[in-house]
Amino acid sequence: MTSDDRTEKDRQLDGYRVDQRDSFLTTDQGIPVDDTDNSLKAGERGPTLMEDFHLREKITHFDHERIPERVVHARGAGAYGFFEPYDDSLSSLTRAEFLATPGLRTPVFVRFSTVAGSRGSSDTVRDVRGFATKFYTRQGNFDLVGNNFPVFFIQDSIKFPDFVHAVKPEPHNEIPQASSAHDTLWDFVQLQPETMHMMMWLMSDRALPRSFRMMQGFGVHTFRLVNEDGRSTFVKFHWTPKLGKHSLVWDETQKIAGKDPDFNRRDLWEAIERGAYPEWELGLQLVQEEDEHSFDFDILDSTKIIPEEQVPLRPVGRLVLDRNPDNFFAETEQIAFHLGNVVPGIDFSNDPLLQGRLFSYLDTQLIRLGGPNFPQIPVNRPVVEVHNHHREGYHQMQIHKGRAAYHKNSIDGGWPEQAADKGYTHYQERVEGYKIRKRSESFSDHYSQATLFWNSMADWEREHIVAAFRFELGKVEARHVQEGVLHNLNEVDHDLAVRVAEGIGVDAPGQPTTPNHGRSSPALSMAHEPADDITTRKVAFLVADGVDAAQVQSIVSDLTARGAICEILAAHGGAVRGTGGEHLMVTRPLPTTASVLFDAVVVPGGEESVRALAEDGDAVHFVAEAYKHGKAVGALDEGARLLEPARVTAAPEQGVVTTPGPDLEGFLASFAAAVAAHRFHNRPTRAVPA
């Protein structure tokens, strides 16, 4: 990143960065340390002395290194970047500068996360993914704190502690970690039908993203845009990845959890380090005030979407992540998001889930980050100056001059003064009614949008959803809980309930109260994703001595030019010998990796090489497993012989590409297209050789 590319936030952080090269060790007070390997003792073998201030400081700091992890979204990864609007078309709808000023690049920090697991859990569990963005705008910080699903489990925030307690490991034995496949979660689900739409998303492949860079993000709630005249427009925020929406498959995620539990975190870090900066487009769904009640659902209900067929997305800008943090704890772990951080021109709706979150996020930071001064932590500081009468407390970093810490004052000339018409103005909404604990009748439909989601899925997506329900409910020990969930599923779709019941050995329910309405929304399916880009896709080449090295180099060169990442795998590290005696460097030994960490595999030609690979169980399993998971498989010349022991049949339409003779150009075009297609889910099921 050049100096011209540096954002205001980057320059602000310079004062906090510490480069310890060419420096002497000191205490926190700057006192030089002569020895940090031996404590101060009374004689070489005598007792340690309390006056050893360096020992006490070092141990004390170590004892207090850990802060409480987040109750939810504990495991995360993040990066810096910028947001840039396309034009000024939103200037008539909002006072928010960062959304409506062409050419204005607003610095951001984005944190991705899983919801249920602890900091030490795996990246690839079946779970919701957090997608939280802090915009460091010229009007103050705006936090858009969302998920990779557009809906949530519950309608009212008062149920949030109940839901989280249900999905977390069960209290009697702290099992299972980072998993929803257990009794308490599904007991909650069977007794709370409002969860059904979200559970359909959670059981789909949307819960298993291939990469943070290949998943959508949503603000979930309905917010408001407010213009200079005080006029409000309801808005929903959508992030759409430039690389398309792609997922893993369940069997693969479980294996990745063992092979590389940091799979998604590593993927984000390496892409940014490589210069393949992740990018998303921000799209808005806009609803005029007068149209608030024109839908057959309530737009304030967070268990509902507004189908894109009814309100299309309006593209307004792009988000690019182009810099990794310097220190995970100082930045990714200490960043504090809060839905109450809004700027002029953005306001809240009366969504009861949103309203509770406005309290919860701020309250959480007070215990996690040690008091009310957490906004002064560098990653949380706005790029604009902060002036107020807040004083003292833990970790106060500012040195306030003057005598008056109150408003109004005359001692300090009345400063800081109120911002008047330049300040944040809440939307003036007329509110009246009885104080009552009751949910609106407009929130009472819990099944129709879950049915909409099911109807919108491709056949292979439905197969995966059924398999997920069977796996999760198969882990549930209480039969009445299984039956209760099946009752709810039956109201979503009878065929779905019957298929799940068959898989878990429970009697299928009878006909539902309301039959399937038959409506669908193509935007909900991942089967319609563009398939023309292989940027950052990882391709493995299986080689041994006697490989056609020139062929490998030619293919690697072509795929790399298309944006793919190629790695050469062999039974050992170092190099292998080519057919012409040349040396081909190995990226990593085959026993240290696995097919689940790649998007595609190529077996090059070379009689001797292929013969050795056919005798290597790891190599045969690599190809067979890649095929099982629907990935592109390529084999050239003699390499096609490895397909037989892997029980793979050449079929270009199924992503298994071979080439007879010298037609390398044709192979490259077909193989690249197969990689771009991501997965071939309709392949025949085959046993994977051990």
Q: For residue 689, what pLDDT is reported?
A: 65
Tokens of 599: 């998007």
Q: For residue 427, what pLDDT is reported?
A: 92
End of a domain among 475, 502, 524?
524
Q: For residue 414, what pLDDT is reported?
A: 86
Q: Regarding beta strands 75-85 and 140-147, do their DSSP bridges make them parallel or antiparallel, or are they unpaired?
A: unpaired
Give me the residue label for tokens 């795998």: 569
DSSP state of 41: B
Range of the domain at 562: 538-676
Catalytic residue among 54, 141, 147, 182: 147
Q: For residue 578, what pLDDT is reported?
A: 97
Is 416 among the domain residues?
no
CA dist 679 and 217 (Å) reads 22
Q: Are residues 514 and 596 in the same domain?
A: no
CATH number of the domain at 256, please: 2.40.180.10
Q: For residue 233, what pLDDT is reported?
A: 98
CA dist 385 and 407 (Å) reads 18
End of a domain among 342, 361, 380?
380
Please tell me whether residue 167 adopts helix, strand or coil conformation. helix
Active site residue 38: no
Please tell me whether residue 145 adopts helix, strand or coil conformation. strand
Q: Regarding beta strands 106-114 and 75-85, do their DSSP bridges make them parallel or antiparallel, or are they unpaired?
A: antiparallel
- φ/ψ (deg, to 5) at 434: -80, 145
CATH number of the domain at 509, please: 1.20.1370.20
For the chain, which residues score pLDDT lower than 70?
1-5, 660-661, 685-690
Q: Are residues 59 and 86 in the same domain?
A: no
Is 393 among the domain residues?
no
Q: Are residues 545 and 625 in the same domain?
A: yes
Q: For residue 8, what pLDDT is reported?
A: 82
CB atoms within 10 A of CB 229: 7
Q: Are residues 463 and 546 in the same domain?
A: no
Q: How many domains is the chain built from? A: 4
β-bridge partners, 236: 285
Alpha helix positions (H), 347-429: 352-368
End of a domain among 364, 380, 396?
380
Q: Are residues 317 and 454 in the same domain?
A: no
Q: For residue 690, what pLDDT is reported?
A: 56
Q: Are residues 456 and 358 in the same domain?
A: no
Q: Are residues 600 and 519 in the same domain?
A: no
DSSP per-residue string spanning 318-363: EEEEEE--S-IIIIIIT----TT---TTEEE---HHHHHHHHHHHH
Q: Are residues 503 and 652 in the same domain?
A: no
Q: Are residues 617 and 475 in the same domain?
A: no
CA dist 183 and 166 (Å) reads 9
> CA angle, corner 133, sides to 127 and 134, nearest 5?
145
Is 424 among the domain residues?
no
Q: Are residues 616 and 487 in the same domain?
A: no
CA dist 434 and 431 (Å) reads 10
Tell me if the bond preceding 408 is cis, omega within 30° of 0.
yes
Tokens of 677: 């297609």
Residues listed for the chain: 690
CA dist 188 and 518 (Å) reads 28
> CA angle, corner 167, sides to 182 and 171, nearest 5?
80
Is 273 among the domain residues?
yes
Is 168 among the domain residues?
yes
- φ/ψ (deg, to 5) at 566: -110, 135
CA dist 608 and 51 (Å) reads 70
What's at 148, amino acid-wise? Answer: N
Catalytic residue among 73, 446, 464, 629: 73
Is 295 among the domain residues?
yes
Q: Are residues 88 and 56 in the same domain?
A: no
pLDDT digits over 389-413, tens only?
889 989 898 888 999 888 888 998 9
The CB-side HSE value for 335 (13 A sphere, CA atoms) comes to 30
CATH number of the domain at 9, please: 4.10.91
DSSP per-residue string spanning 625-668: HHHHTT-EEEEEGGGGGGGTTTT---BGGGTEEEE-TT-HHHHH
Is 621 among the domain residues?
yes
Give the start-end residues of each E strand in 249-308. 279-288
Q: Are residues 492 and 568 in the same domain?
A: no
Active site residue 147: yes
Is 486 among the domain residues?
yes
CA 647 and chain centroid, separation: 35
Q: For residue 3, what pLDDT is reported?
A: 54
